[in-house]
Amino acid sequence: MNLYDSDREILLNPTGWLNDTIMNAAQEMLKKQFPNLSGLQDVALGLVVNFRIPGREFLQILHSPINHWVTVSTIDVQNPNTIKLFDSKFAAVTTSLKTQIAALLCTNNETIQVNVVDSHSQVKYKFCYSSFNILCTQMGSCDCGLFAIAYAVAVAFGKDPEVCIFNQEMMRKHLFHCFTEGILTPFPGRASNSATNTLGESIDVHCYCRMPEFKDIPMIECTNCLKWFHYVCCENVSEECMDSSDIEWFCCNCL
């Protein structure tokens, strides 16, 4: 696998944040090794909501603003409207992630269940303070890309990342070695005695487009089915309809 010298430098720099070229290169390698695996699309497609709808079981690395990488998977997830989110630094399912997940699942269900596998407690961050107590470097805070790839590799190899504690110090070297050899192997780690924290989050999806609510896009409720639709997704909405809730409006399914 050919990486540019600049990408190799990022990979070997302890505070190097893995860019989309590296993340896509890792996904490409996995795809070659597991041709039947669905997903693993260009990470940039997610940000412009341009994913192709993958097969029922898929694996995908996602970019979550700002500068964070996570992995999602529906492999071995029984419920069709449920997805697992592997996050090394979980804070919230961001609007961007909600949109990307909704685009991948494209479900007629009202909600998507997100099972967040949060390995935050396992990830080590070393803080380095200057003499004025100002944070100058943050070792480990740029490791989310390494974890995202490690989760993806584990899932592809049929291992459960929920019960694995990765050896964080070895991750960069391991990935570099994988790129050199042109083959991804499971990241070094050990089995955990207890399962990682799993949090349940949900995404409400609406409209013909099966997407969540967006901050700046008004929505309108159908008088008959009481479902909500994005204004921009509907052709038959007059301005009066938007301004007044007293005016009846029917979605295409109820007309």
Q: How far apart are the two ends of the chain, measured CA to CA in Å?
A: 55
Nearer to Zn ion, 129 or 250 (CB): 250
The residues, any chain, with a CB within 8 Å of residue 17's CB and separated by 6 or more, are 10, 67, 142, 145
Rule CB under 5 A: say whether 233 interacts with Zn ion. Answer: yes
Q: For residue 114, what is the DSSP state?
A: E
Nearer to Zn ion, 201 or 213 (CB): 213
> Applying CB under 5 A, what is the total number of residues that bind Zn ion?
10
Q: Which long-range contacts (CB under 8 A, 24 or more apart) does 219-226 make?
A: 220/249, 221/245, 221/249, 222/249, 222/250, 222/251, 222/253, 222/254, 223/248, 223/249, 223/250, 223/254, 224/250, 224/251, 224/254, 225/251, 225/253, 225/254
With CA atoms as reference, report the closest residue to 58 among 22, 93, 23, 30. Answer: 30
The Cα 165–Cα 37 span in angstroms is 24
Q: Nearest distance from residue 213's CB to Zn ion, in Å?
A: 9
- Number of other CB atoms surrounding residue 121 within 10 Å: 9
Nearer to Zn ion, 66 or 215 (CB): 215
Stretch that binds Zn ion, among 17-25, 151-159, 166-174, 222-230 (CB under 5 A): 222-230
Residue choice 180, 225, 240, 247 for contact with Zn ion (CB under 5 A):
225
Rule CB under 5 A: say whether 209 interacts with Zn ion. Answer: yes
The Cα 117–Cα 70 span in angstroms is 10
Residue choice 207, 212, 220, 249 for contact with Zn ion (CB under 5 A):
207
Nearer to Zn ion, 172 or 230 (CB): 230
Nearer to Zn ion, 187 or 249 (CB): 249
Nearer to Zn ion, 152 or 220 (CB): 220
Residue choice 180, 224, 236, 245 for contact with Zn ion (CB under 5 A):
224
Write the single-letter amino acid at 255. Answer: L
Q: Nearest distance from residue 212's CB to Zn ion, in Å?
A: 9
Stretch that binds Zn ion, among 79-87, 113-121, 171-179, 217-225 (CB under 5 A): 217-225
Rule CB under 5 A: say whether 205 interacts with Zn ion. Answer: no
Q: Which two tokens stand for residue 18?
A: 């893995």
66 upstream amide cis, omega within 30 of 0: yes
Nearer to Zn ion, 45 or 233 (CB): 233
| Binding letters toward Zn ion, positions 5-34, x by CB under 5 A | ------------------------------
List of residues contacting Zn ion (CB under 5 A): 207, 209, 222, 224-225, 230, 233, 251, 253-254
